[in-house]
Amino acid sequence: MKISEIAAVLNAEVYTVNHDENADIKSACSADLMSDVMAFSKENALLLTGLVNPQVIRTAEMMDMKAIIFVRGKKPQQAMIELAEEKRIALLATDFPLFEASGRLYQQGIRGHGY
- Residues 18-72 have pLDDT tens digits of 888 888 898 998 887 777 677 766 667 899 999 999 999 999 998 889 999 999 9
User: Can you give the residue ranges of every domain in the chain?
Assistant: 3-107
Rounded Cα distance, 36 and 72, in Å? 20
Residue 76 contacts residue 54 (beta carbons within 8 Å) = no
Rounded to 5 degrees, φ, ψ at 96 are -65, 145
CATH topology for 3-107 is 3.40.1390
